[in-house]
Amino acid sequence: MPAFDLPLTRLEHHRPDIEEPADFDGFWLSTLKEHGRTDPLVSVRPVETGLTLTRTWDVTFRGFAGDPVRAWFSRPAGAGELLPAVVEFAGYGRGRGLPHERLTWVNAGYAHLLMDNRGQGDQYGCGGDTPDPHAGAPGGPGPAVRGLLAPGDYHYRRLITDAVRAVAAVRGLPGVDPGRTVAVGNSQGGGLALAVAGLVPDLAALLVTAPLLCGIRRALDLTDAGPYGEIAAYLSVHRGAERDAYRTLSYVEGVSFARRAQAPAHFGVGLRDVVCPPSGTYGAFNRYGELTGVGGGKEIHAYPFNGHEGGDAVHVRRQLDWLAGLLAR
């Protein structure tokens, strides 16, 4: 795929205007208050994985509406001290899979929580274990369009609430230093991590690549790939529903969450990404922390000839080095 979005010289200064609802903060404050009144942890059960250097637990915590959400929690075997916790969010259509699939962060010495995606897990990977009992509102079959016509019904209202509750849950798990909690994600997971950074004021750090739900209106005009294509296909059938859909999407816009974030942040982006166009990532990066004065506590790495895979393992190594240096300080 050739480069199709703005040239890098323009992306570096891209600060999109967004149609932010007047009650954006109130919407999320009331949502999190309503669905965050109870202790998040339900159960923490050790599991046998066949790995001798990692210990893993099957965690269930209360997410949106108190619904049980599953997660894998892992620590390096034999680690006795309190560890920083990395909360990782999975990509679109993917579930938590099997406990031995994602070992980078635990091998780097962190406690690691991988949250399951409610109502997802059937598109690739090794499946998920968390149903979404609230998926009956009007909308299409894909997660991106479930409940699309009303903010209170939208799938991402529930999923973002789960993500915030995952941070609260990991802080209550054994061997975790609650003051050093980090949100990590790529694609949909990046969008969730960015939302967490905007809603959890004491997050220690954010690492996000190719985030979904950033610059949504522009992305819908640029690409038919992935989740944005599902939204466009739905609107092509439900003609005249654009106004309601755009209003709903404005409550999950990543640029709005980015403006409110406070944690130091590390971004990555492939400039040929047709799934999550790079102007969305740069829009979130350039406006990141503008309401909170994050200042110089952010950086971004661009990969001009890469698509949605971005910098892949090269970028992961940059993430590891950046986070280790940040926490050491």
The catalytic residues are 187, 273, 308
3-class SS of residue 252? coil
Distance CA 212, CA 200 (A): 19
How large is the C-alpha radius of gyration of the chain? Answer: 19
179 closest CA partner among 201, 202, 195 = 202
Distance CA 213, CA 78 (A): 39
The pair of three-digit structure tokens given for residue 91, joined into one six-digit string: 């990509």
User: What's the per-residue H, E or C state across 170-233?
Assistant: HCCCCCEEEEEEEEEEECHHHHHHHHHHHHCCCCCEEEEECCCCCCHHHHHHHCCCHHHHHHHH
Distances 89 to 15, 167, 195, 243, 246 between C-alpha atoms, Å: 26, 11, 11, 29, 25
Q: Using CB atoms within 10 Å of the CB of residue 25, give its burial: 0 to 12 exposed, 13 to 18 middle, 19+ buried.
A: middle
Where would I find the H helices in the chain? 8-11, 24-34, 104-107, 155-170, 188-199, 216-222, 226-237, 242-250, 254-260, 278-286, 312-328
156 closest CA partner among 183, 130, 123, 192 = 192
Judge contact between 11 and 282, C-beta under 8 A.
Answer: yes
169 closest CA partner among 325, 40, 35 = 40
